[in-house]
Amino acid sequence: MRKKVILYKAIPLQERKRLDEIFDVTYFDSIDDSNRDAFFTALAETDGIIGSSVEMSSNVLNKAPRLKAASTISVGTDQYDLDYLAKRNIPLMHTPDILNETTADTIFTLIMCTARRAIELSNMVREGRWIKSIGEEQYGTDVHGKTLGIIGMGRIGYAIAKRAHFGFNMPIHYSNRSQNEVAENDLNATYMNMETLLKTSDFICVMAPLTAQTKHLIGEKEFALMKESAIFINGSRGKVIDESALIDALTRGSIRAAGLDVFDIEPLPANSPLCKLDNAVLFPHIGSATAETRLNMVACAVDNLIRALNGDLSKNCANKHLFNR
């Protein structure tokens, strides 16, 4: 008998066909109030689930007593409780490596847009307010040669640092749970505590995963440590920062600007104070959003689920280290 799988996100047809060839698939293009009951009913008999952008709490997964594997179409795993899954010996598969370079491109776009005030000045042109040569009040700031501080020197952090070092001759400061010798050897990166990094960096980029320990990692105290000329970038998860503290820092001018690809609430409400700030560049969570990378992520997630349901956890299992503790 073929295993039963729930697909809870719209994916390219060729990847859906691969699932259909192997599994008995129940498909939801998303989960909302209109289909939540049907989703819960399907969970009761499913062996595997695959998708993204839906919180899969223990209360939800308790409705799936037969569940043997979950595959998220993302590198982040914060939609799942890894400890809960491990207690049930359910592997959570994810898609590391595939999106590193694309996400680093996005983060560096945020760095450039904030430094050169690209969105603000583009709007000035579009709205007919460019009537003379710009003056000092519209000047941006250089990127080359400035110090980049990265909080979370993982795969994506390294890819960002590589661009900064080789492309813009930027000294690299970083804070991480452990030292990254590759970054130190290849990019001359300097390991330091977060307080020192915040005080000394011109650009501060947060790439830490969202965990209980990193929620509101950056708040009022941390923004107060930054230079007034500092530019803050968040490409991790919205809840890693205290958004109200960031809004206050931007409004008071205690930091120069911020570039954000993630937010506390997504989509960002149109009435958010961030939308009124010229010194905030806002992207709609597009870190990995290129056609090539998103297709590769889906293909990887499908491969991951197939392998996991066949008992192969040798690659891309996010919680294998928690099993049988």
pLDDT tens per residue, range 44-65: 999 999 999 999 999 999 999 9
Mean pLDDT of 162-181: 97
Among the listed residues 18, 237, 256, 307, the single catalytic one is 237
Percent of the chain with pLDDT over 90: 95
Between CA 252 and CA 158 the distance in angstroms is 32
Instruction: Give the pLDDT confidence of 196-214 residue by residue, as tens digits.
Output: 999 999 999 999 999 889 9
Q: In the prediction, which pLDDT does 1 show? A: 86
Catalytic residue check, 94: no
Choosing from 195, 228, 266, 292, the catalytic residue is 266
End-to-end alpha-carbon separation of the chain, Å? 33
Q: Catalytic annotation on 285?
A: yes
Say what the pLDDT of residue 324 is.
Answer: 64
> Is 256 labeled as catalytic in the residue annotation?
no
Q: What are phi and psi of 100, to 5 degrees?
A: -60, -55
Q: What is the pLDDT of residue 325?
A: 46
Question: Which residue among the candidates 18, 165, 256, 285 is catalytic per the annotation?
Answer: 285
Query: What rounded mean pLDDT belongs to the chain?
Result: 96
Q: According to the model, what pLDDT value does residue 48 have? A: 98
Among 316, 290, 321, 289, smallest CA distance to 303 is for: 316
Q: What is the pLDDT of residues 241-261, one digit of tens each?
A: 999 999 999 999 999 999 999
The pLDDT score that the predictor gives to residue 100 is 96
Whether 235 contacts 205, CB under 8 Å: yes
Asked if pLDDT for residue 277 goes beyond 70, the answer is yes
Q: Show the domains of the chain with their CATH numbers.
A: 4-97+292-322 (3.40.50.720), 100-282 (3.40.50.720)
Pick the range with the lowest mean pLDDT from 83-87, 172-176, 258-262.
83-87
Q: What is the pTM of this model?
A: 0.91
How far is 3 from 46, CA to CA, in rounded Å?
Answer: 8
